[in-house]
Structure 1
Amino acid sequence: MQGIVAGLSLIAIPAWLAARGASPIEVGAFVGTAMLPWSLKLFNGLLMDRFTYRPMGRRRSWILVAQAMMMLTLFGLAIAAPSAGQIIILTGFCFTLNLCATFNDVAVDGMAVDLVPEEERTTINGIMFGSQTLGISASGFIAGQLLADDKISTMALLFGAFVAIASLFISLFRERPDERLFPWTSGQPSAECAARQHTAWLPILRGIFRSLLSSKILLFLTGMGLATATYAFTDSVAPILAVQQLGWGSDDYSSFASIVGLFAAIAGATMPALIVRWAGLRMTISVFFLILAIAAIVGGATLGNWESSTIFAAIFAVQYFASLFLTIALIVWAMRLCDPAIAASLFALFMAVPNLARSAMSGSFGWLIEASGYAAAYYAVAILSLGGLLFCLLAKVGVGAPAHEQENRLHR
């Protein structure tokens, strides 16, 4: 369901806007604003670590509420039915959808840190990102076909109905044994939930600030932010380059991006765990940073000689796969840095910084293209990716175990 929102905001609607004549600055502003809630995830995490309906678990009630709001927003979009020329209204609806998705995302991530053993987190992250990418691919493809004929109401009703059905299925599963399925059913808070859920703000804030005093964490956050440069490029530059420069239709781009995303979803759900197990987390992160930098350099150097869309398509596919694998690997390390007692807040901070960087870069690429062209955008991605690698190496990502994990092992 997070993938539905991303598929609309990052693939289908930007391509639709480009096909209807929107400028790079307008498309970049749409993407940057629509995705802005992902940079505010720390506030979501603070709310979840402080407040919850304990009889239903620490995170589950937040997930169900977020999905209900997502469904209502999609139905509202179907009623409003804005045209491609009403960019401000489209941006408002997509901003709201992404706000709902961030509450869903923070709750799911917090639940993963709470419940998943460390040795299973690479696999679980691969499955979670594979599922999200599958949602992006499916929604991007379906929405692209419908928006090509300006059927935005049909699209929104279809996705709203899917969210309703999926939410009903998810509501049948408890977070922990003996908790309530719904507020009106029987059950009681688990001992683990009661012990970990905070009743005051000070312990949560103290834990976050204590983490931020570490230079390694600050370096890591900077590296994570720069790692999103390729995502920002594929979000805001690739649709315009394909539609307005290479002559693709908006449905052609949506279909292509969705197919690439589908294969990336399958690979992301299976391969990262094997790669990390074979090469180690540090080497995996380093190699994928370098792949992203090289792909961007090739794009910038060859752009003036493109006689067809083949090179663009190949570079896009490499960027998509490498970005997904790199993100999964970085999140595995971020989870290892999180204390489960403040997992929602601290992990949300780890995700908020790169998402803020992604939104800022998405909005800035339009201005860079207007000033210096598409090749400059490719070269900017290469420079930012190499910077991200440098900061992650300085942060000693993948070396040793975080202090709270060492303490837990000694305790066990």
Structure 2
Amino acid sequence: MSMNMSDNKFARIFTLCGMYFAQGVPFGFVSYVLASYFAGKGLDANVVANLTALATLPWVFKFVWGPMIDRYTYRAMGRRRPWILFAQTMMVVTIAALVLIPDVTTDLKMLGLLVFIHNVFASMQDVSVDALAVEVLEENERGFVNGLMFGSASGGAAFSGLFLGQFVMGHWGLRAAMIAQAGALFCVMMLPLFLRERKGEKMLPWTAGKAMGVEEQLSADSGGELWRLLKKAFSIRSAIMMIFLAVCVKIAIELHGVVGTVYYIQELGWTDTEFMGTRGKIEIFTLLGCLTGGFLADRIGHKKIAITTTILFGVSYVAFALKPELWQSKLAVEIFFGAEGGIYGALSVSLFAMCMDISLPAVAGTQFTAYMAMMNGSAVIGKKMGGWFYDKMDYAQILIFWGVFQAVVITVLLLFIDQHQRKKLEAKAVGISNDRINE
């Protein structure tokens, strides 16, 4: 069996999912384990909001990596794989460094710095993996595989909440959970280390092999060419409207993540380990939502699933806000959080597939990354606003406000996007590349 990502479907899907799992583990550790740990220690909502925002902030600027990854690489090892290996290595190093902090509740500056640096490299890994996915995935695979990839990130977050948080930290403490986290990321790194992008490429710089398949690829081989392709890529209405959607789409769920953590632990009396477990369970529902949403998106349509799920998301917020008696039932809260995660998972994978549909492969590392960076900017906005809304509104008002926002604003933006516009643009882009080749 040929174990390279371009020719082997299992190899490419397993590698892409493994990389997303590696992104989900530290995300879950910061957002669920540390956030719940701090809330349980009595730290206020703004501390939780600032830490989780620091973890997300580098992802806002990950578009910086796109042009570098599109333009520079060591092609003998693959167009994207060298970047993935470097970034994943640094992710392991920065997570391992967390163990050296004596007390994370008192040395918040060092904790925040390491969390920030880790996510700089995590965002680099993500850009490289997304660009690889745009290149190696067949069009009819994108919805379902996006579901698997995003679901794998949810699986990584669930691993943090349930295994690292409830089990490892519950039995041996926070430091042991940090060590286990670093070990998990190291194991995942074996996938890109031993699986090539294309048959005949080098596994490592000193091993046998050469650049493969380069001549067939439309590639931005100069700064001027890259800029011309990017201008073309963002010249259509759908590409522009996707920018506005990306900036808005994650505000509601990320804001609720901050508000909900503090509200249920400090106001309703949940323990931090109880809430960690609940958040971990949510990621299982998110994973199922990703798989179901990806499957349906490939068969019904990426845009139709995105519109349906964003309306359901908003309605679920408003409905739960109008039933405050349910907030006292842990089962009801877990069902609500599970529905939130499942719907959000299906919405996310359909949006990712739409972004891939719109993105031009020659500049996928830049264009697709720009959309993902804007979505992460949306997450930062939501996290940072969480503390403010918690101080200014009650829980029901927050749910109603953002439920209506999600159901109305995001749906209107989706109606203006036609993901099929890219095919015309791609033909023009090939013409540009041919002009360059013929010169």
TM-score, with length taken from structure 1? 0.92
1:16-49 deviation digits (Å, cap 9, x = unpaired):
1111111112211111122111111211111101
Aligned to 2:323, the other structure's residue is in SS state helix
Alignment partners' CA distance in 2, 1:273 and 1:16: 33
Q: How big is each residue's C-alpha offset from its partner over 1:89-123, in whole Å with a ceiling of 9 and x where there is no partner? A: 22222212222211111111100101111111112
The equivalent residue for 1:200 is: 222
State the Cα RMSD in Å.
2.3
User: How has the CA–CA distance of structure 1 residues 199 and 178 changed in structure 2, closer, same or farther, with 3 Å as cutoff?
Assistant: same
Residue in 2 that maps onto 1:183? 205
Deviation at 1:3, TM superposition (A): 1.0
Matched pairs, number: 408
SS of structure 2 residue aligned to 1:181: coil
- Structure 1 segment 393-408 matched on structure 2, within 5 A: 393-396=415-418, 402-404=423-425
Aligned ranges 1:148-163 → 2 under 5 Å: 151-163=173-185
Select the residue among 250, 258, 261 that pairs with 2:283. Answer: 261
State the partner residue of 1:382: 403
The alignment status of 1:211 with 2:233, answered yes or no, reads yes
Q: Does structure 1 residue 12 correspond to structure 2 residue 33?
A: yes
Instruction: State the alpha-carbon separation in 2 of the partners of residues 35 and 193 from structure 1.
Output: 37
* Cα distance, 1:130–1:281 mapped onto 2, change above 3 Å: same
Structure 2 residue 385 is the aligned partner of structure 1 residue 369: no
SS in 1 for 2:194: coil
Contact residue 161 and residue 276 of structure 2 kept, 8 A: yes
- Measured at CA, do residues 130 and 193 of structure 1 come closer, stay the same or move farther in structure 2, by a change above 3 Å? farther
- CA shift, 1:208, in A, is 2.3
- Structure 2, unpaired ranges of 5+: 1-21, 432-439
What whole-Å deviation, never above 9, does each CA across 1:178-228 have from its counterpart, x for those lacking one? Answer: 111011111111132784443322222332233333332222221233221
Determine if contact 2:286/2:343 at 8 Å carries over to the other structure.
no
Aligned to 1:239: 261
State whether residues 122 and 329 of structure 1, in contact with CA within 8 Å, keep that contact through their aligned partners in structure 2. Answer: yes
Q: Are 1:136 and 2:136 matched, yes or no?
A: no
Q: Deviations over 1:112-144 (max 9, x none)?
A: 101111111112111111211111100122332
> 1:61 and 1:297 mapped to 2: Cα distance?
46
Deviation at residue 407 of structure 1 after TM alignment: 6.7
Secondary structure at the aligned position of 2:63 is classed as helix
Asked which structure has the greater RCO (Cα within 8 Å, sep 6+), the reply is: 1
Q: Aligned runs of 1:10-409 on 2, under 5 Å?
A: 10-145=31-166, 146-147=168-169, 151-192=173-214, 195-269=217-291, 271-303=292-324, 306-385=327-406, 386-396=408-418, 402-404=423-425
Please say if residues 238 and 358 of structure 2, whose CA atoms lie closer than 8 Å, have aligned partners that are also in contact. no
Verify the 8 A CA contact 1:300 1:374 in the aligned structure 2.
Answer: yes
| 2:52 partner letter | V
d(CA) in 2 for partners of 1:184 and 1:401? 40
One-letter code aligned to 1:19: G
Identical positions, percent: 22
* Aligned residues of 1:224 and 1:388 also touching (Cα < 8 A): no
Distance 1:7 1:336, change over 3 A: same
Q: What stretches of structure 1 of length at least 5 have no aligned partner?
A: none
